[in-house]
Amino acid sequence: MTPEEAIKIAIHCFGVQAEQEVCEECPVYLESGIACREVARVAISALKEVQQYREIGTVEQVKNQKENLKIAYQIISDYEAIGTVEECRELASIVEKAERNELAKIIDEWLKYQKIGTVEECREAVEKQG
């Protein structure tokens, strides 16, 4: 049964329900043995359900949302594997301190070499000794 057919039957049964309890000449009742009252109750329930689904979105929209959620969960999982924000901050602080220490060592070495002299000055000194 198509939605259009279901709507047509529901409209018919709502009309009959307003006038009488059961319509024994009704094609729905004759075909199925279901009273218009029951058809009307089921139709109302189905229409409410359709309305809820429409509020959620189209099938395509729901599929897109599902795919977006998968991507989001993967990103969260990747970040959780790295560590918490606090752990990352702590690690960044350690790296920064290590870089500063390494830089300080390089500057110290450079200052020592600067005291010795330039490469040319060192060559001249070696040549004078030899």
Residue 26 within a domain: yes
Residue 20 within a domain: yes
Pick the residue with more confidence: 24 or 78? 78
Residue 40 within a domain: yes
Residue 17 within a domain: yes
Residue 39 within a domain: yes
Domain range for 44 is 1-56
How many domains is the chain built from? 1
Residue 7 within a domain: yes
pTM of the predicted model as reported, rounded to 2 decimal places:
0.35
| pLDDT of 51 | 82
For the stretch 40-80, pLDDT in tens is 777 778 878 888 888 888 888 888 988 999 998 998 888 88
Phi (first) and psi of residue 21, to 5 degrees = -70, -55
Burial of 16 (0-12, 13-18, 19+ CB in 10 A): buried
Residue 112 within a domain: no
| pLDDT of 96 | 92
Give the mean pLDDT of 7-12. Answer: 72
